[in-house]
Amino acid sequence: MLDLFDTRRYLIPFRGSLLPQVFTDTLVIGGGAAGLRAAIEAATHGDVIMLCKQGVPDSASAWAQGGVASVTTKDDTFEAHIDDTMTAGAGLCDAEIVKCVVEHAPRAMDDLMAWGARFDRTESGELQLGREGGHRSSRIIHADGDATGEEVIRCLWEKARTVEALRIFEDCFALDLLTPSVAPGAPVMGAITHHARYGLQMIWAKSVILATGGAGMVWRETTNPPVATGDGVAMAVRAGAGVADMCFMQFHPTTLYIAGATRALISEAVRGEGAYLVDRSGRRFMQDVHELAELAPRDIVSRAIHAELSRTGDTNVLLDARHLDGFKARFPGIHRLLGRFDLDPTQDLIPVQPAAHYMVGGVHTDDRGRTNVPGLYAVGEIASTGLHGANRLASNSLLEGLVLGERAGAASVEMRSADSGWSVAPPPAPVQIISSIPLSDHGELDLSDVRSSLRSVMWRNVGVERTGAKLRDVTEMIDFWARYTLDKIFDDPQGWETQNMLLVAALIAQSAVWREESRGCHYRSDFPKVHDRFAVHDFWQAGVNAPSEIPLKAAASTP
């Protein structure tokens, strides 16, 4: 098995003193909802630079068709939202963080609306609330039916443009986090980056907030944008940060399946409006699986579809929305998408199958985004906070990014104080950092082949259903590819992304091998039941080839 943590500290060789130097108080890496909200908040107490790997609209947040879950009416309660979240999380949610996020949701939505966010409303002017999988109440706030993420990003981007203390660098790839030494516990001091126009730069910061999103591109079938290659998790691990619950990748049950076409999400809100799943004969199969039928938690629906496909040998099942009134008005984006393939949802069944959608595990943090590395915070999909447990409840992701993005942005001020609470404080920047990497004596593999092969094997063996034998096969394959890829020096994002994907895939497979049970969106057919032994977070850190076990946190009042 690949020794995940015996990897070199930096992706490229460099001598820091010879590169351009940029300085700021807080560096935010990632421009989705969590990153934007963190940057806006951090700019209230200092200068901020926010890096976007490509452009601001290219984040997974902007692609989100689902909504934002928030208690907004007297018919709903915080306790009900908490209960639905805990149920979906399959016994692995931290009650403390669930309570924090749910109770802060209304204020987060008020902030967005005060900044100009336009959410769907009824004729009387009230918020129009929808229902999605796992929710027993209608509490989902949408924008333009199926374009909530796009509207949230538009609003936050417009707000960010008014913040004088915030600079945004687009087309800027963060290669690695800077630390003054490779010793465990060394504080983060910024990042080495590659700008499409200006080349390599050293960006020094007193605090760094990772908001790079997930790693959906590690799987062949995914709803994620091309930027979701796990870069943030990989650079955090190389800098000494611990990761938790990496085996938990949520597979969305309904992505449009057209042979040869890029997979596209068919929002859970379509099922929330009454669409249902059928097999080729027209039989509804979810009614026999769960009391909530098509609105069961996503892991249950995805597994049921997988079972149907295994039984029939088909490539997809079908989503029937023909009986819904006003589909075009309710879901204009999805209607346009289907039209490009000559599908009319009022007349045609929609071919769908599961696809990798949301990374539940990630860099382990507390309720303010703090990691185990001084000066380093993580928010949004990259973070493993304990909110989602073993499976994310629909529409809790944008909510998490907004609430915890704000909290991390506010907390990062502590790194500007001599009394930061950390036992190790960052030394004054800049310091001399030299990365020396010897030339590899191994042969070369074709990067495109490695990437394609990795994504295929992850889909086949680390997908909706897993077994120990197949997982161990995956670790051996990754070990082989890593031997000829991780030791190379590349000079473009494709190479760096591929190296990051290999490291993240290995972490996911290793976590999945360790967790010998089925829980949430991790299903082991050789261990099909939940075991109390695994009611903990598995925490992996550089230099340690076995996980620590972190117990769950009970509910407590959170300021």
| Residues identified as active-site | 298
Q: Locate the DSSP E strands across 190-238.
A: 190-195, 199-210
Q: If you write DSSP's letter for every residue of 500-544 in order, what string do you get?
A: HHHHHHHHHHHHHHH--S-BTTB-BTTB-S--GGG-SEEEE-TT-
Indicate the SS3 state at residue 458. Answer: helix
For residue 174, what are the contacts with CB-CB under 8 A and spacing of at least 6?
29, 51, 53, 191, 192, 193, 212, 231, 232, 235
- Amino acid (1-letter code) at residue 347: Q
Q: Which residues of 323-357 are buried (b: 16+ CB within 10 A; e: fewer)?
A: eeeebeebbebbbebbeeeebebeeebbbbbbbbb
d(Cα 99, Cα 281) in Å, to the nearest integer? 44
Residue 244's closest CA among 97, 100, 458?
Answer: 97
User: Token digits for 252?
Assistant: 């969305």
Phi and psi torsions of 115, nearest 5° = -90, 0
Q: Are 4 and 483 in contact (CB under 8 A)?
A: no
Buried b (16+ CB within 10 A) or exposed e, 471-494: beebbebbeebbeebbbbebeebe
C-alpha–C-alpha distance, residues 86 and 103, integer Å: 14
Q: CA–CA separation, 63 vs 147, rounded Å?
A: 8
Task: Determine contact, residues 526/465, Cβ cutoff 8 Å.
Answer: no
Grouping H, G, I as helix, E, B as strand and the rest as coil, residue 431 is: coil
Q: Which residues lie below 8 Å from residue 137, measured CB to CB, with a gap of 6+?
A: 75, 76, 80, 81, 84, 131
CA dist 546 and 511 (Å) reads 10
| Residue type at position 240 | G
| Chain-centre distance for alpha carbon 315 | 26
Structure tokens at 362: 């990630």
Give me the amino acid identity at 345. Answer: P
3-class SS letters over 271-312: HHCCCEEECCCCCECHHHCCCCHHHCCHHHHHHHHHHHHHHH
CA distance 172 to 111: 29
| Cα 497 to Cα 173, 190, 358, distances in angstroms | 10, 20, 18
Residue 316, SS3 per DSSP = coil
Q: How far apart are CA 254 and CA 522, in angstroms?
A: 18
Which two tokens mark 442?
Answer: 């191994």
